[in-house]
Structure 1
Amino acid sequence: MFLNRNLIKCRSIFTSVKHLRPIGNVHQSSDVNIFDVFNAKRLQKERAAKRDDVETYDYIKEEVGFRLSDRLFDIKKELKNAVDFGGGRGYLSKNILAETAQNLKIYDISETMLEQATGTPGVEIEKHLLTNEYLDLPENSQDVVISNLALHWFNDLPGVFRSINRCLKPDGVFLASLFGGETLYELRSTLHLAEAERFGGLSPHISPFTQIRDIGGLLNSSGFTMLTIDTDEMVIGYPSIFELLQDLKGMAENNAAFNRPLTLSRDVLLSAVAIYKEMYKKSHPETKEEGIHATFQVIYLVGWKPHESQQKPAERGSANVSFKDLGKIMTEKKDKKVE
């Protein structure tokens, strides 16, 4: 089988952000709900969790969960109380060791997935079923909140970020991963072309994703500081579009938008098969078998709740050297070294 569920390429782009101007009106929660989180998405996750071969479809979430937990290990401070927000089947909790956190609360909208989630020895686990999008915990009670590939299904990201900031202790940290706007762009464009060819119009078969340019503004407006945002692109090969669609369903990452079409016509699907193979075909590097590839853009973010001990930027006007003099100063230092 052609590279099914195997990583072909991973490209990382790193950006460190200290302050970003909020983009748009992100200070208020939106009244528009795009996703049917607690009906369609919950049902999709329940069905996926009850499959006999559920482990087959965990490859992306387990890989990203491992990478996210690795970032947590880099934080050199005591993190006694931790929250796994949208923990699913424990893609993240199985990588959190007792040396990192002593108490771990796992939240998810799927009861079956929560039952399947496991931890590591020495970590006290609490499981909670989410009934709304917000983290309802006492103020200043948690050392770290982590979320692995769950936030892209929430309607009110500003409100979610504010609820997380509220429950964090001062100098607490928030780490998360979520799918970005370039995710499944091949499938999106293929279905658009196929539907335009057959019916002369478009339907939203792929759910919208958050753009990386918006994340910094959302976090800043929610009270986080010392932000770090970066992305990975995971390009995965499949034999055909049918295996891709099957895996998305097995991951519970199928469309959950309110305005989603409930069916995909046979004509559009057959047209999409041909278009996808023509535009995005990929050959196995060893067997030379032909297949297709799909891109999953993963956005990683880190934000801290403000505390007086954190580093702060210098006050405006405190510099004693002008930028226009930097070239002259560097030249003088170079001349002194030569002497």
Structure 2
Amino acid sequence: GRWCRGLWALPPRAATAAASPSPPTGGSPGSGALNPFDRRLKRKQKNWAALQAEPAKCDYLREEVGGRIADRVFDITRTFPLALDVGSGRGYIAQHLTKETVGKLVQVDIAENALKNATESEIPTVRVVADEEFLPFKEDTFDLVVSSLSLHWVNDLPKAFREIHHVLKPDGVFVGAMFGGDTLYELRCSLQLAELEREGGFSPHVSPFTAVADLGHLLSRAGFNTLTVDTDEIQVNYPGLFEVMEDLQGMGESNCSWNRKPLLHRETMLAAAAIYQEMYGNSDGSVPATFQIYYMIGWKYHESQAKPAQRGSATVSFGDLAKIEGLLKKGKK
């Protein structure tokens, strides 16, 4: 539509990204130290998941977290004429938002099939295939940026946060959610123990996740202020390890680390399933899978925002405050 013509950034930095939804990641497993994830493979996995006969069957986690992001947006008592959803997938946040809160929405994802199969929303929406690390929009464009459960696959998270900060208007807000470090610890431990037992060593089968202690620091370095970071856990029960892995594949959440092991032996998988059941199994025979979620809210600076008072500007000393407290205690008696 006409309203999105002025969004696009002209610098080469973003123009390249707009042309190529999956920019170079170093190209080979040898570059994994700086680029731990194969972004082309992640795009392929997400595209495959979006084309399944019932893509919504494995969307329960994304829909739940999308709803919790929308709740945080509703808690901010203002309207947002133009919003951006980074790593939108099939629109898990948009379906919970209302046109009274968000006027227009741009959805960005690396997987074109996810965008083509997006759920309908009452908000006027434009869908753009682009990478989260290379947002092809002008500076100071959006009143609100949201992102749910996609940034844990980004190779350069500090750069992704800087890109989000760049496209936000001053006094704009970013509301996001990421998987945290304890996500799928049951699966990770079971696979590692089974490999040690059967093969004498183990490879990473679950993606590395950001620690919550680092998250606030990364957002602050990207330029965000008035930060809020909190954590939550969602536990889902499955019949067994194989069902956990099947649903992860259906979510497009299969591992795409360069150093992943291409195949797991059948005996190792059966051993891992038995260890999972033995160590973590519920009394009804099911097994739990824990998903730790980090929620973050950060604002782009604007001079109208409240500022902390200058050092030394206090008009009451701590000594006087102590006296007041003593008088209050006497008054209560």
Runs of 4+ deviating beyond 6 Å = none
Alignment of 1:46-85 (within 5 A): 46-85=47-86
Distance 2:238 2:322 in 1: 53
Which of 218-227 and 261-270 deviates more? 261-270
- CA distance in 1 between partners of 2:311 and 2:117 (Å): 53
User: Residue 222 and residue 131 in structure 1: after superposition, are their counterparts in 2 closer, same or farther (change >3 A)?
Assistant: closer
User: What residue number does 1:282 align with?
Assistant: 282
> What's the CA shift string for 1:225-268, capped at 9, x where partnerless?
00001111001111110110111111111101111111111121
Match of 2:104?
103
The answer to whether the 8 Å contact 1:93/1:117 transfers is no
Give 3-state SS (helix, strand or coil) of 2:201's partner: coil
The answer on whether the counterparts of 1:54 and 1:250 sit within 8 Å (CA) in structure 2 is yes
Partner of 1:11: none
User: Partner residue of 2:247?
Assistant: 247
**Partner SS, residue 269 of structure 2:** helix
The AA in structure 2 aligned to 1:33 is N
Give the C-alpha shift of residue 124 in structure 1: 1.5
In the alignment, structure 1 residue 313 sits paired with structure 2 residue 314: no
In structure 2, the residue matched to 1:330 is 325
- Higher RCO (CA-CA < 8 Å; seq separation 6+): 1
| Rounded Cα–Cα distance in structure 2 between residues aligned with 1:165 and 1:301 | 13
Pair 1:162 & 2:157 matched: no
What percentage of aligned pairs have identical amino acids?
Answer: 49
1:217 deviates by: 0.4
Amino acid at match of 2:138: P
C-alpha contact 1:219 1:303 (8 A) present in aligned 2: yes
The residue number in structure 2 matching 1:19 is none
Which protein has the bigger helix share? Answer: 2
What is the 5 A alignment of 1:180-191? 180-191=180-191
* Counterpart position of 1:10: none
Q: Distance in 2 between matches of 1:258 and 1:174?
A: 30
Q: Distance in 2 between matches of 1:229 and 1:280?
A: 29
| Corresponding residue SS for 1:246 | helix
Q: Which deviates further from its counterpart, 197-206 or 318-327?
A: 318-327
**Does structure 1 residue 126 correspond to structure 2 residue 126?**
yes
Deviations 1:36-77 (A, max 9, x none): 11x110111111111112111000000000111111111112
CA distance in 1, matches of 2:160, 2:93: 19
Q: What one-letter code is carried by the residue in structure 2 that aligns with 1:299?
A: Y
Assess if the C-alpha contact under 8 Å between 2:192 and 2:202 holds in 1: yes
Paired position in structure 2 for 1:298: 293
Distance 1:322 1:266, change over 3 A: farther
Distance change (3 Å), C-alpha of 1:200 and 1:85: same
Question: RMSD in angstroms over aligned alpha carbons?
Answer: 1.6
- 2:158 counterpart SS class: helix
- What is the number of equivalent residue pairs in this alignment? 302
Aligned to 1:138: 138
